[in-house]
Amino acid sequence: MNKKHFVFSLLLVLTILLTACASGTETTDDAQPVEEDVTLRVLVHQNPPMVAFMEEFNQAFEEKYPNVTVDMSVVNANDLSTVTQTRLTANDVDVVDMFAFTNAAQPYMKNVDPPNWQTLIEAGYLMDLTGQPFLDNYYESAIADAGTYNGKVYQINLGTVSYSGLYYNKDLFAQYGVEVPTTYDQLVSACETFTAEGIPCMTAGGKDGWPIFVGAYGLIGSIYPDQEALVEGLWTGSIKWNDEKSMEMWDKMKVYAQDMMEEGASGIAGDAAPGRFASGAVAMFAGGTWYAAAIESAEPAFEWGYIPFPGSDDPEDNKYLFGKYDQGWVIAENSPNKETGLLYLTEFSEQENYAAFVNAVGFFPTQPGVTLDTQIGREVAPYLENFRVGYEQYYVAPKGAGQYANPWASYFAPFGTFDDAEELANKVQEDLQSGLDANQ
Amino acid sequence: MNVDMKIRRPIKWGKILSYAVLIIFAIVYAGPLIMLVNTSLKSLPDFMKSATSLVTSPNFDNFIDAWQKANFPRYLTNTVLYTVTATLVYVVTAIFLAFPVSRGYIKGAKIILFLFIVALFLPPALIPQFQLMLRLGLYNNPIGYILLFTINPIGFTILVNYIKTIPIELDEAAALDGCSYFKFVTMILFPLIRPAVATVAVLHAIGIWNELILPTIYLTSQKYYPITRGMIVFQGVYGSNWPTLAAAVLIMTFPMLLIFLLMQRYIISGLTTGAVKG
Amino acid sequence: MRGYHFGGGKSRWAPYLFLLPGLLLYVMIALGPSISTTFFSFTNATGIRGAPVDWVGLDNYKEFLFMGQASRDNLSALGRTLLFCFFVTTIQFSLGLLVAVLVNQKLKGTNFFRTLYFMPVILGAVIQGLIWSLFLYPLGGPMDSILNFFGMSSEFFGGPPTEAFGWVIVVQIWANLGTTMIIFLAGLQTIPSELYEAAEIDGANKWKVFKNVTWPLLTPSVNTNLLLNIIGSLQAWQLFLVLIGYRNGTQVLGYLIYAVGFGQTSGSVTSSFRQGYAAAASIVLFILVLILGTTTQFFLSRRERRILG
């Protein structure tokens, strides 16, 4: 062990050979009193309605606390974790927008790496928020499920979203006399009607790949309603991706990817899809609730509705929405501006501010007493009690598992390469099995 | 009708064929650009209806829109600053390194040359580099970012090879006249190797100008973004709005094309004179 | 070591003194970090400072090369990298040569063509990518309309992986042809025109002139271009990032390294940063580049000695 440490320190010495003298410039941890001028460095990810809300919120915050300047930077969602990690390690940020704590390693998982948030907490980069008064504004379950690790709270989560629904064009449904589908068969025949009329049935942002599989979540959900159990079953071998039950899912996914999706969907970027739907050219749009704001801003007069994806033939199975806890706030442990950071979160958690926030971004609230008073809020309200956290939030791939070890509809052509459901099912199971076997 | 016309010259098939090929390539190169201009003048609904149709009533709102939404002058200033500074530092340090290595004036010249040739193949060391910048306190700092661009092994080897073509007798003669080492390199050698220096500088500058990954990792403040980073962030926000995006791309492209066209003769001749000897 | 002319004593140290900044920068920015990459590849580093880092020996290499389906996926990414390198190098090299020969003629407008072909190099990967995303817009974009006219269709960057991959090759060549052309042009201009005249007097046709005069004398540019193209295309992945993103069946090694080292977001989940594992993958790429680069270099210099003596 000593030798290893020696070699390792040798490498560090090598890298920083020329710079060792400069390492004394680290920032001190002293918390400054709020009365002094403070620049609060806030990092958020790109989501236009949220950014617009935050700009207003920051302005109000600066007016209330004139000694504080908020320096908010915005990064693309894809870069958020990279930038978060680099800025936290560089001690260059105070308050960060971080996605909910998910994908924790479970006892039945062998040899998996901890998720980023866990590493960050263990390395001491996130501030322990346990006992802060503003936590009481939120549902206990939300704090526990999305922001707690080892009994300590590190994040307040700001809302849930659902990704398993279908937007539908009310005008087109009325014009062609199509009923809003509640079973899989009805969905298929609705699509046939539209296609026969020359109207593409569905769209989604196929260029990014994931919007296709996220759109089909309801399909997975109608077959495996308890997705945490699904993940455990996959790891322990009691569920296979090519068993009879799963085959039903793949067969339907094939129809979804190849018959229901419009031609050319594979070229539409994720953020372009709501505009495409709002233009009125397609009958339905498979996507998460977060797209509602974009649809409304693209075409305010456009009439639409939202239903859970009817993946099962039994309408009772189609009343579930699958989703996730979305973003939350954390404070950097090494920040010199912790006090201001706490003040910022306290202000944000005020019911009035929080309600304005969820209504701006379209999250389902994690604060009791706050309602989402938008169209999507009303559309989803009947299903909210059946809200369930999805597979992706539980699954951790075993090391060595292949790149196809997921139930994604986007593996089907034209988004992927597969045409045959059985061939794909076998490949997915094989890729997963290969990882499970490698860790025996 | 002049006299020439009456003399029947053989049709120059070679010439026609040459032009045909050149024009086909020109279409492949100009086509996407024309499409860009066309899109930038459309309104979003027009674009949604038909992406290809030629614009009938030009709509310049997209440019105003793009200009207001992004901080282009800042990005452009940053990019120019990074490119010029880093190229300058690089060229000066590289000449002073290449000259004695090329002449064998120092011990270990061959080792240094070997190390730089190896560097051509080295894996991009993103991870340790990042740790280094953190410890130097140069993370999210223009100076640190510029430091990353102060080496370029290809340019170094071009310089070394070019200096070999300068006769060593020149050194002797200058030294006899009492010229010092520093003076010789700056006053006598430098003008002689200018073509190679131009090549190296241009190659290096293009690399910095176009870098996308490093600003993503090292520059987190919007005020430090170079064009590339600013552009990709802009795309993240307005990615679905192609007309605005196209206008933004044109706004970004315009100064670059202008600089390029103004310096074109210099850039291309610089590249052609120096490149081969590497 | 040849004689040093600029005095002895203290002034003998002048070259050492002046080269120091360049050398220090090189060691600090390139050599040091590159060597450290090797050490990182034997650890489970996450890139988070302060997180525990353990020595894991060859585990990263074993996992990358031999563990389960993932390793086979890695190997296909490696194969894809080679394929990308092969197509880009051969096509870009031949087209670059063709274009250079054409614009080197005494024809009107060659300056315009040169400038036009070189232009993408100035624009950089982001703008190249945006321009082509628009040109290849799948819902009635220009290329879509052209293909439809000929009764064909393509899903472009969103389609089947091989198709998307092919389009990236097209854009990569489009973007970098200018550099290849310029380097050839440089070589062409060093060939004395007397040689061509002599050959023409001997009655050689154009092809023979090219084969016997141009091609051998172009050897230095051929070498430069081949090496630059091979090494460049093995390490290139910026266009993949801009045009496709990280998608199954299209990854090349360079992108894979970035993705495992700095995490990737797919759907709602971001993968963890596995910088030790990424470092091991970098070393694999390094070895690949080294083998291909030095082999090419070996054959090229042998050929150069044979031709140019």
Spatial separation of the C-alpha atoms in residues A304 and A275, rounded to whole Å: 13
The beta-carbon neighbor of C224 closest among B171, B206, B276 is B276
ipTM comes to 0.84
Which chain C residue shows the shortest CA-CA distance from B208? C124
What pLDDT is stored for residue A342 in this prediction?
Answer: 95
Contacting chains of C (3 CB pairs or more, <8 Å) are: A, B
What pLDDT is stored for residue A225 in this prediction?
Answer: 87
CB contact under 8 A, A269 and B239: yes
Which chain A residue shows the shortest CA-CA distance from B137? A25
Q: What six digits make up the tokens of B222?
A: 């919007």
Q: Does residue C37 contact residue B125 with C-beta atoms inside 8 Å? A: yes
Q: What is the mean pLDDT of residues A66-89?
A: 83
Contacts of A75 in chain B (CB under 8 A): 220, 233
The verdict on B57 touching C (C-beta cutoff 8 Å) is no
CB contact under 8 A, A275 and B240: yes
The beta-carbon neighbor of A46 closest among B48, B220, B236 is B236
Q: How far is CA C120 from the centre of its chain?
A: 15
What pLDDT is stored for residue C153 in this prediction?
Answer: 77
What H or E segment, with its residue span, contains residue B56? none
What is the distance in angstroms between the Cα of B193 and the nearest Cα belonging to chain C? 16
pLDDT tens profile A290-326? 888 888 888 888 999 999 999 898 998 888 888 889 8
Q: Class of the B71-238 domain?
A: mainly alpha
Which chain B residue shows the shortest CA-CA distance from C258? B126
pLDDT tens profile B199-242? 788 878 888 888 888 888 788 777 889 988 888 878 766 666 78
Query: pLDDT exceeding 70 applies to what percent of chain A?
Result: 92
What pLDDT is stored for residue C102 in this prediction?
Answer: 93
Q: Which residues pair with B30 in a beta bridge?
A: none
CB contact under 8 A, C4 and B97: no
Q: Does residue A161 contact residue A288 with C-beta atoms inside 8 Å? A: yes
Plot region of C8 (φ>0 → left; ψ -120 to 50 → alpha; else → beta): beta
The verdict on A174 touching C (C-beta cutoff 8 Å) is no
* Start-end of H helices in A237-320: 244-255, 273-278, 292-298
Residue B269 or A383, more confident? A383
CB contact under 8 A, B220 and A87: yes
A414-428, B231-245, C133-147, C292-306: which has the minimum mean pLDDT? B231-245
The beta-carbon neighbor of C22 closest among B32, B96, B232 is B96
Query: C216 pLDDT exceeds 60?
Result: yes
The verdict on B50 touching A (C-beta cutoff 8 Å) is no
Sequence-ordered list of residues with C-beta below 8 angstroms from that of C138, at least 6 positions apart, any chain = A264, A266, A267, A268, C144, C154, C155, C156, C158
Q: Does residue A90 contact residue C49 with C-beta atoms inside 8 Å? A: no
Q: Does residue B132 contact residue B169 with C-beta atoms inside 8 Å? A: no
Spatial separation of the C-alpha atoms in residues B258 and B254, rounded to whole Å: 6
CB contact under 8 A, C39 and A7: yes
Which residue of C48, C72, C147, C271 to mutate against A (max A Cβ within 10 Å)?
C48
Which residue of B18, B29, B263 to mutate against C (max C Cβ within 10 Å)?
B29
Question: How much is the mean pLDDT over chain A?
Answer: 86
Sequence-ordered list of residues with C-beta below 8 angstroms from that of A281, at least 6 positions apart, any chain = A199, A200, A203
The verdict on A74 touching B (C-beta cutoff 8 Å) is yes
Q: What is the mean pLDDT of residues A353-359?
A: 93
Q: What is the mean pLDDT of residues A347-369?
A: 91
Q: What six digits make up the tokens of B70?
A: 């992004």
Q: What six digits make up the tokens of A104?
A: 């924790």
Spatial separation of the C-alpha atoms in residues C229 and C225, rounded to whole Å: 6
CB contact under 8 A, A206 and C158: yes
* Start-end of H helices in B42-168: 44-49, 61-69, 72-103, 109-119, 126-136, 142-147, 153-164
Contacts of B140 in chain A (CB under 8 A): 87, 90, 92
What is the distance in angstroms between the Cα of B6 and the nearest Cα belonging to chain C? 23
pLDDT tens profile A146-203? 999 989 999 999 999 888 889 999 999 999 999 999 999 999 999 999 999 999 999 9
pLDDT tens profile A106-124? 889 988 888 888 889 988 9
CATH number for region A165-319+397-438: 3.40.190.10
A positions 263-292 inside 8 Å of B (CB) = 269, 271-276, 279
Give residue limits of the domains in chain A.
30-161+324-388, 165-319+397-438
The verdict on A21 touching B (C-beta cutoff 8 Å) is no
Give the DSSP per-residue string, A406-437: S--GGGBTTTSSB--HHHHHHHHHHHHHHHHH
The verdict on C148 touching A (C-beta cutoff 8 Å) is no
CB contact under 8 A, C48 and A123: yes
The verdict on C263 touching A (C-beta cutoff 8 Å) is yes
What pLDDT is stored for residue A28 in this prediction?
Answer: 41
Residue C207 or A252, more confident? A252
Secondary structure percentages of chain C, helix, strand, coil, to 5: 75, 0, 25
Query: C63 pLDDT exceeds 80?
Result: yes
Contacts of C247 in chain A (CB under 8 A): 209
What is the distance in angstroms between the Cα of A272 and the nearest Cα belonging to chain B? 4
Q: What is the mean pLDDT of residues A205-231?
A: 86
Which segments in chain B show pLDDT lower than 50? 1-5, 274-278
Q: Does residue A250 contact residue A439 with C-beta atoms inside 8 Å? A: no
Spatial separation of the C-alpha atoms in residues C52 and A122, rounded to whole Å: 9
DSSP state of A38: E
The beta-carbon neighbor of C142 closest among B21, B35, B242 is B35
Contacts of C2 in chain B (CB under 8 A): 103-105, 168
Contacts of A326 in chain C (CB under 8 A): 268
Question: What three-state secondary structure class fits A396?
Answer: coil
The beta-carbon neighbor of A19 closest among B135, B139, B221 is B135
Which residue shows structure tokens 């033939």?
A313
Query: pLDDT exceeding 90 applies to what percent of chain A?
Result: 46
Give residue limits of the domains in chain B.
10-61, 71-238
Q: What is the mean pLDDT of residues C201-210?
A: 83
DSSP state of A129: -
Question: What three-state secondary structure class fits A161?
Answer: strand
Please report the number of interchain residue pairs, chain A to chain C, with beta-carbon separation below 8 angstroms.
175
CATH tag for A30-161+324-388 (out of 3.40.50.620, 1.20.1050.10, 3.40.50.10490, 3.40.190.10): 3.40.190.10
What is the distance in angstroms between the Cα of B34 and the nearest Cα belonging to chain A? 21
CB contact under 8 A, C48 and A18: no
Spatial separation of the C-alpha atoms in residues C139 and C143, rounded to whole Å: 10
CB contact under 8 A, B122 and C286: yes
**Confidence band (pLDDT; 50, 70, 90) for C96?**
very high
The verdict on A324 touching C (C-beta cutoff 8 Å) is yes
Spatial separation of the C-alpha atoms in residues C280 and A44, rounded to whole Å: 32
What is the distance in angstroms between the Cα of B49 and the nearest Cα belonging to chain A? 9
Q: Does residue B213 contact residue B148 with C-beta atoms inside 8 Å? A: no
Domains of chain C: 59-308 (1.10.3720.10)
A positions 92-131 inside 8 Å of B (CB) = 92
Cβ neighbours around B27 below 10 Å, total:
10
Q: What is the mean pLDDT of residues C228-234?
A: 87
**Confidence band (pLDDT; 50, 70, 90) for A10?**
very low
Contacts of B221 in chain A (CB under 8 A): 73
Which chain B residue shows the shortest CA-CA distance from A71? B221
Contacting chains of B (3 CB pairs or more, <8 Å) are: A, C
Angle between helices A351-361 and A338-349 (to 10 degrees): 80
Spatial separation of the C-alpha atoms in residues A6 and A337, rounded to whole Å: 37
Angle between helices C161-190 and C219-235 (to 10 degrees): 150
The beta-carbon neighbor of B128 closest among A15, A79, A90 is A15
The verdict on C9 touching A (C-beta cutoff 8 Å) is no
CB contact under 8 A, A76 and B140: no
What pLDDT is stored for residue A254 in this prediction?
Answer: 94
Pairing of strands A38-45, A95-99: parallel
Q: Which residues pair with C265 in a beta bridge?
A: C270
Which residue shows structure tokens 């006299």?
B3
Spatial separation of the C-alpha atoms in residues C172 and C167, rounded to whole Å: 9
